[in-house]
Structure 1
């Protein structure tokens, strides 16, 4: 069997190397090819990314073809509109056994995307029935789950032609900037279990960098433990996303946040890091800015060492996440049905998520240590997680303050004691 995406990443991890990956997608084939080649040639252990455009994400391939025909700008690579032959040409001489490529998309209905990937064939992609529905779509969750079940089973058939298809769950990144880590861990694990049930045996579980490094270390440790318990016959690894919320506005602040992400990845035992650039707060980064960020993250990672997180924090997150995972899996043997029932009953409930299928009874806040905590857990089956004296106060000012917490912290001068500390909302 040809070495797949997951195997390449795991091999690098076994050698003590952190794999770094950009967010990159250009509509013109030659530009996309040049971006992948620049990523491949960077002074780092890298894998490639093809990020798809918004028309393709929502299934409007006619609009994507029209935009290509008139030279209109797209915000990514329209893989379905280009077709398998064009994409195969674009990847020739770029994608090989040492440099795998992953397609990233954001679609609640990825069936046509996966069909095109299989025709190329490209053996690595990402997403999930929950994580690519609730934040990005108004599509009913049950419909998204049906779409993802069909697409994942079809994608798994690449094993029959000697490939090892790899799926990355996006569940650990769902509105992650205001979501306490136990819920992110639970959704990431549940989507991975969903993919396993559809026949996939190479999976990565995601987690997004949040507001406190020690809490993030504990969360990733808990995610590793839960993955080991539920994915015994799967080749899996952890992928960390550099912070996905409001990004620092200064060059210095952005670099400090990326350095923190690279250190966190190594300390927590993640195999792969998806980076952001210093341009994130202002515009779409250039290829060179992506390469600079990849190389900077790799340099920082080489100087860091593995770390054991706080036992108390790890156990708390592990307990909460395990309660959620077990409660959902007890609802139905079919993991897709269980996920749908869990959201209907509020067993899974994303704070501040406006999708109609999210109950919306949970709230969170950032405590004085910069950790995300629950102020109310609605109907979620978790115990002893709300601290006494906290309230679910949602105000516009509080929400804006919380969303800007990380950017403000890293943009703030390091020699002042006036860092932002507590935000309740």
Structure 2
């Protein structure tokens, strides 16, 4: 079956040598959502649109959504379950008019009603995963999330009855977004991709979030591409990079430098798509206009960059990710069961994640070279590099410093240049997620 519109658009841009840029945007009002998609479609860039769902819909509190819609209370995203199918089709028609596909982003650990709405409206692309949308964002048990996502994946395949190949993006390369060494991020997104494949999906994207070291990130993207080729060779896939998801620079110039670094990393690391952030991120949800400006900035920077031609140094990221994946797959031929057992035994352990199904023994830190490393790995089959001495235990002050490391570095770069300005902090009409 041919690619669905979303995967086809990304593949076409790759063939042209263009990086696809994508905002995070969601509005409760259908007219506002339609207008936002129109603006993104008209941006001077290769774009795909986003409909980000509201927090109530993410957790299945549809009664709260109905109350908000009835009394005119604002929502922080689009309530796709509550709005009728024709309203959502009207919203999406604005993007389709310009030939721009749309992905629905949601954050739900138990997304069956959301997937049902996707099937009703014919949306061919969404994202998440049984680990990446459970442990960081919910208190739902991992067992329940795995079972729910298995049903959702199998059900999403019914789009093929309408001649559309559905596309699912793993959020596993992001997890908590920061202070998680790359080997674990890569292992989780590949495992989620294998889970999707086991439950019938054949078109997917695998994610990675920009971290603290450009050199380490470039190696991580190379490792991710290699593992996808080895373990998911029969699926139609691409890599998506997220602009840094942690504390964002507070100066406009610092934020734009960080976004530019993400765009260059995406091109050098051969990612096909970049999730973009704006200078407003440190203060508030960005406006549509700010999202469009950020998309166009990222596209300009990407157009001036070229993929890396030389191989990247191998510091062991690929080997670590492969070891983690193999340790998980030894636990069961069913990927979902294997992942659940891996968390029970601590073979997978997300640093600083408080979910009750996470062992909580692992700790990451930023080393003297700005790279993410393991201070403690718990029971994960991970080798700790002690060549430079004992890794520090993370204190509360150290954690705050580490969380602000990227923002402080890029703000410092910006403030060292004449005329650096703080990012605009005024409240504005916005949608995000």
Whether TM-score is above 0.5 comes out as yes
Change in Cα spacing, 1:255 to 1:162, as seen in structure 2 (3 Å) is same
SS at match of 1:178: coil
Matched, 1:390 2:415: no
5 Å-filtered alignment, 1:118-157, equals 118-157=119-158
Residue 405 of structure 1 aligns with which residue? Answer: 405
Residue 423 of structure 1 aligns with which residue? Answer: none
Q: Deviations over 1:51-90 (max 9, x none)?
A: 0000000000111111011100110000001132210122
Q: Deviations over 1:170-199 (max 9, x none)?
A: 000011310000000000110011101111
Distance 2:14 2:227 in 1: 19
5 Å-filtered alignment, 1:105-254, equals 105-254=106-255
Paired positions, count: 416
Instruction: Kindly indicate whether the alpha-carbon contact (under 8 Å) linking 1:218 and 1:309 is maintained by their aligned counterparts in 2.
Output: no
Change in Cα spacing, 1:91 to 1:394, as seen in structure 2 (3 Å) is same
Q: Deviations over 1:325-358 (max 9, x none)?
A: 1111111111000000000001100111111111
What is the Cα deviation at residue 310 of structure 1? 5.7
Instruction: Kindly indicate whether the alpha-carbon contact (under 8 Å) linking 1:351 and 1:360 is maintained by their aligned counterparts in 2.
Output: yes
Residue 266 of structure 1 aligns with which residue? Answer: 267
Residue 258 of structure 2 aligns with which residue? Answer: 257
Matched, 1:102 2:106: no
TM-score when normalising by structure 1: 0.95
What is the Cα deviation at residue 301 of structure 1? 0.2
Change in Cα spacing, 1:387 to 1:137, as seen in structure 2 (3 Å) is farther
Q: Deviations over 1:367-422 (max 9, x none)?
A: 11110011121111133545552235121100000000000000004686xxxxxx
Q: Deviations over 1:295-340 (max 9, x none)?
A: 0000000000111576433x51000000001111111111000000
Distance 1:126 1:28 in 2: 22
Instruction: Kindly indicate whether the alpha-carbon contact (under 8 Å) linking 1:375 and 1:386 is maintained by their aligned counterparts in 2.
Output: no
Residue 19 of structure 2 aligns with which residue? Answer: 18
Q: Deviations over 1:140-187 (max 9, x none)?
A: 111111111111110122112200100000000011310000000000
State the superposition RMSD in angstroms. Answer: 1.6
Distance 2:414 2:73 in 1: 44
Higher relative contact order (CA 8 A, sep 6+): 2
Deviates more, 1:111-120 or 1:79-88: 79-88
Residue 419 of structure 1 aligns with which residue? Answer: none
SS at match of 2:178: helix
